[in-house]
């Protein structure tokens, strides 16, 4: 793919990789190849996002608590694996420092696709401890990732947060904790978008419904797949979404509409 004839020059304040895209240059050129950190990249939505962004021309740093899984995804993507504990400030700071080193000193995009919520809910202990642990891993972990990413980004940087699971959390044993963490992450996403707008950094969120894992015999139907969610994340991190910031996009096949409809049906007349 070569440079378009007669294309207007891109504004000088844009990062080199975005200038190349707008000028129709090939993203595979290492000098302008965009860089991205994907947290939770060892499995699920994070893995699908890492793979899709790599195919789209990004140089990917796959961050996850599961170092073996992150390394496998990174090797398949031609990227790098970095360890991180989403509930630890020092671990998140160290991860972004390491990622910046392996990515050549530049950070163009971040996908916060893994918050550690599964691990936070896994240990069998009392309700209060589980609630506190979940908020630390999900809400505080997301805030710290946004903070550390923004420190290392220039104008034109883009951040996408997986801001929770769509649907009614009341059917879950951890429904209150999940609802609180989902709402907290959505609020953080909008606040960050407002705060970072002056620096030219866009922040958006994606909320998804239940997902059918790869290799499952179950038909996705309205539930969707990690690859489908990754498509939306990749779009939000691309120049095509240059006009979008502060948005929370729901990717749930209409599940949320059905939940609202069911609530309306139960309402007193």
CB 130 within 8 A of CB 174: yes
Give the separation between CA 141 and CA 216, rounded to whole angstroms. Answer: 30
Q: Name the CATH code of domain 35-117+137-168+184-266 (choices 3.40.50.720, 1.10.1370.40, 3.30.450.20, 3.90.440.10).
A: 3.40.50.720
Residue 159: which H helix or E strand, with range? strand 158-165
Give the pLDDT score at 209: 80
Beta strands in 7-94 (DSSP E): 35-39, 59-64, 80-83
248 phi/psi in degrees, rounded to 5: -115, 110
Give the pLDDT score at 211: 81
Mean pLDDT of successive 10-residue stretches along the chain, which has 269 residues: 42 51 46 89 95 96 96 97 93 97 96 69 68 86 96 97 68 72 92 97 92 71 81 96 95 69 49
112 phi/psi in degrees, rounded to 5: -95, 85
Give the separation between CA 250 and CA 191, rounded to whole angstroms. Answer: 18
Classify residue 260 by burial, with Cβ atoms within 10 Å: 0-12, 13-18, 19+.
exposed
Residue 114: how many other CB atoms lie within 10 Å: 30
**Predicted structure pTM score:** 0.81
């Amino acid at each position: 793919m070569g440079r378009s004839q007669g294309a207007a020059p891109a504004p000088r304040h844009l990062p080199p990789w975005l200038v190349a895209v707008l000028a129709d240059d090939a993203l595979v050129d290492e000098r302008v190849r965009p860089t991205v950190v994907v947290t939770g990249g060892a499995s699920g939505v994070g893995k699908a996002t890492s793979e899709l962004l790599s195919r789209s021309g990004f140089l990917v740093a796959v961050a996850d608590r599961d170092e073996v899984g992150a390394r496998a995804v990174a090797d398949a993507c031609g990227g790098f694996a970095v360890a991180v504990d989403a509930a630890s400030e020092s671990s998140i700071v160290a991860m972004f420092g390491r990622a910046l080193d392996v990515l050549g000193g530049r950070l163009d995009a971040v996908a916060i696709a893994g918050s550690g919520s599964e691990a936070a809910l896994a240990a069998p202990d009392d309700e209060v401890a589980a609630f506190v642990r979940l908020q630390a891993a999900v809400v505080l972990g997301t805030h710290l990732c946004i903070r550390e990413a923004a420190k290392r980004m220039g104008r034109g940087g883009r951040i996408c947060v997986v801001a929770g699971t769509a649907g009614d959390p009341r059917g879950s044993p951890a429904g209150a904790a999940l609802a609180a963490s989902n709402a907290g992450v959505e609020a953080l996403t909008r606040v960050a978008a407002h705060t970072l707008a002056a620096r030219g950094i866009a922040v958006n969120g994606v909320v998804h419904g239940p997902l059918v894992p790869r290799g499952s015999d179950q038909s996705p139907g309205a539930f969707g797949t990690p690859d489908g969610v990754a498509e939306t994340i990749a779009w939000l991190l691309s120049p095509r979404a240059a006009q979008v910031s502060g948005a929370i996009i729901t990717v749930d096949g209409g599940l949320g509409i059905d939940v609202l409809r069911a609530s309306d049906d139960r309402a007193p007349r």
